[in-house]
Chains A and B, each alone.
Chain A
Amino acid sequence: MGPVTAGVLQLLALIGALALVHIPLGNHMARVYSSTKHLRVEKWIYKGIGANPDAEMTWPAYLRGVLAFSAVGVLFLYLLQRLQGLLPGSLGFAAIDPDQAFNTAVSFVTNTNWQSYYGEQAMGHVVQTAGLAVQNFVSAAVGMAVAVALVRGFARSRSGELGNFWSDLVRGVTRILVPLAFVAAVVLVACGVIQNFSGIHEVGQFMGGSQQWNGGAVASQEAIKELGTNGGGYFNANSAHPFENPTPFTNLFEIFLILVIPFSITRTFGVMVGSVKQGYAILATMATIWVGFVALMMWTEFSHHGPAFDIAGGAMEGKEVRFGIGGSSIFATSTTLTSTGAVNSFHSSFTGLGGGITLLGMMLGEIAPGGVGSGLYGMLIMAVIAVFIAGLMVGRTPEYLGKKIGTREIKLAACYILVTPALVLTLTACAMALPTPANSMTNSGAHGFSEILYAYTSAANNNGSAFAGLNADTQWFNTTLGIAMLLGRFVPMVFVLALAGSLAGQRPVPVTAGTLRTEKPLFTGLLVGAILIITGLTYFPALALGPLAEGLA
């Protein structure tokens, strides 16, 4: 069997596993967010918070909960890093500098997990386990909560109520993320991912002398890092590090963990709006783009166009032998089409077009299947845009899932899709215009520009992967990337929740012969087209200067 066939079989195995799991998991998540019962442990938690989990919230109240919880999260994580030198279990690492601590705190609270630090040389057990890993759970749960609030906006009528943020947050953690992460962590340890609390210690080598090893609670963090589409590696090399991703099986398993909630939540959506077919239409849109991108990635990486790869006879720079080109291509595409940003191979050393595919995946807004929660709400915004375009074509007031898409709704959706492109393009232009940011580049020419474009695309879309030749630990990059992550996460959430509130307040319009059937393949085709055209028009000039110039050279 050749490597191409093996790559395709790995893709098919993933599709099979996701197909098996998405219905039970999607149904489970729908029950979690619809149930009126509280587990005993949850009652204790609500008592601790001092919140009434049964109180319905309007969209501004829901949004205030999201913002307050996230603001406290940033502050807490910032202080934890600043005080690292004083904390026990810090392996002797000193406090993190203010600009880097700000960047990292924002990065983990926004589900981005951009890392301008080297994990094994900066963060001790306490910051990793009680700071960074905690945000891996709760930032994912916040994303899911906002997505569910939007789904309730479609499902409910004439109420304006979107559920209770504290209840959605806690249930996401206790009933979905912790149980799944626990099982995943045990599987990962069984395959060789480390899980211990030893400090930096010496281990003998074959030729004599010793290697320095870090211990760490790696498996427990790795599981939620993938499952919550976070992506912040325990070690600098992330999922390329053998202690994070030791075998070809763990590689596929980690890709599965990345994709499982974003794909399954389309089922949750279908169940909650009362039509699983609507969920399938969204699922089909996501799957079409994801499979298409993986196929393109495999094609460009296996054909390895580029001077160094031609001499080497393959694009193996930055890739591990155990994963090969196939396993690396699937991982790279999946991590950038979701908001994960974990890497098992280094995107900067992909072919020019391969690097372009990772960039484009993020530029789509990470909706195929996207981040945990954020993928669904991003895709539903695109669906609103698509029905609007279809409505313009036939001259009818557009509607989606029985709700009118009027002026207010389309304004909110339009604002949503403008936020990240504005951040990416403005900040990239500023960085290129100023004299010093370019000093951070490792590569020159088109690829050097791509390093900076990639950084802002990754930050504003809350991905977290990098063309890691860029030295991002400067005050300029720590600060501007931090701002991009904050605005790229929370401004769109404002529009999503405002839209949800507006939809939940409407009365449903009856389905007539003139209604666009959004559960049909025709709509999926329209949606895929709308996504590609909108992104393409926005980013083509920037892509032409970077990856296209490099890939077509």
Chain B
Amino acid sequence: MNNSVTNTARLLGAGLRALLVLTLVTGVIYPLVVTGVAQGLFSDQATGSETEADGRVVGSSLIGQSYNLPLKGGQETPDADLKWFQGRPQNGLGANSVNTRYELILSGATNRSGDNEELVQWVTDAKAAVIEDNSVPGYTVEPSDVPADAVTSSGSGLDPHISPQYADIQVHRVAERNGLPVAEVEKLVDEHTEGRTLGFMGEPRVNVLELNIALEDLVATR
């Protein structure tokens, strides 16, 4: 009996020492060396790919943001500022504590299933809103023009991108609101459309923050 207790204690002692030594290797030395190399070689990326406009940090090119009007009295969710290109749904998805609405401090998805009534309602409402917001005199958005990413929320709730199709249907609205010719805004979207990496990885996409920065510049130069 005594013997087996001693043996167990000895074994647990060995386990503890192994854990402490390996913690030093993999939990202290390894992350510090990686941090040193990362900050030395790729400090921009390692700190979050910050993006500047007019000498001011306006976020990260990797993280989505909202482009909303200030909250009005009595409002819980602000209205979208239709002057700017809009990202994937945020306010249209109702009071949902899980989805982050582009607040970085808690990332996550709605986790609603395809037959979930709330999700059906959110998607339906978002589709109606996309059609209404983007239809301007002389240009009507058809339901079939609206791509899936325009009416669904992303996994992280921080998706920085929209599909080129969603950018395209926003062009007329953005042109009208900013007093720009449609062709110039179209050109801007084309310039900011990124194809698949090496032609096959991922999907074509438009970075909304970078597009809006370019839009701001375009408006300012006129």
A residues contacting B by CB (< 8 A) are 1, 3, 5-6, 9-10, 13, 45, 48-51, 64-65, 68-73, 76, 118, 120-121, 129-131, 133-134, 137-138, 166, 169-170, 173-174, 177-178, 181-182, 185-186, 189-198, 200, 203-207, 211-215, 217, 219-221, 223-224, 235-237, 240-243, 246-249, 251-252, 304-309, 311-324, 326-327, 343-346, 348-349, 351-352, 355, 442-443, 445, 447, 467-469, 550, 553
Contact = CB atoms under 8 A, between A and B. Distances in A.
Interface size bracket, B side: 35 or more
B148 A315 contact: yes
B113 A349 contact: yes
Contacts of A166: 14, 18
Contacts of A177: 26
Given A118-B106, A315-B114, A248 B46 contact: no
18 contacts: A49-B14, A51-B18, A72-B12, A118-B106, A129-B31, A130-B27, A133-B27, A174-B25, A206-B213, A213-B60, A217-B31, A248-B196, A249-B201, A320-B155, A349-B112, A349-B114, A467-B111, A468-B108
Interface in B101-154: 102-116, 119-120, 122-124, 127, 144, 146-149, 151-154
Contact of B153 (A51, A73, A318): A318
B160 A204 contact: no
Nearest to B127: A311
Given A318-B153, A349-B110, A131 B27 contact: yes
A297 to B, nearest CB: 15
A206 B67 contact: yes
Contacts of A251: 201-202
Contacts of B106: 118, 120-121, 236
Given A186-B37, A317-B112, 4 more contacts: A48-B21, A204-B57, A248-B197, A316-B148
Nearest to A343: B155
Mostly, the B contact residues are mixed
B184 interface: no
A411 B49 CA distance: 56
B46 A327 contact: no
Contacts of B50: 203
Nearest to A6: B200
Contacts of B108: 118, 236-237, 468
Nearest to A64: B11
A220 B67 contact: no
Contacts of B110: 317-318, 346, 349
A344 B124 CA distance: 25
Contacts of A349: 109-114, 119
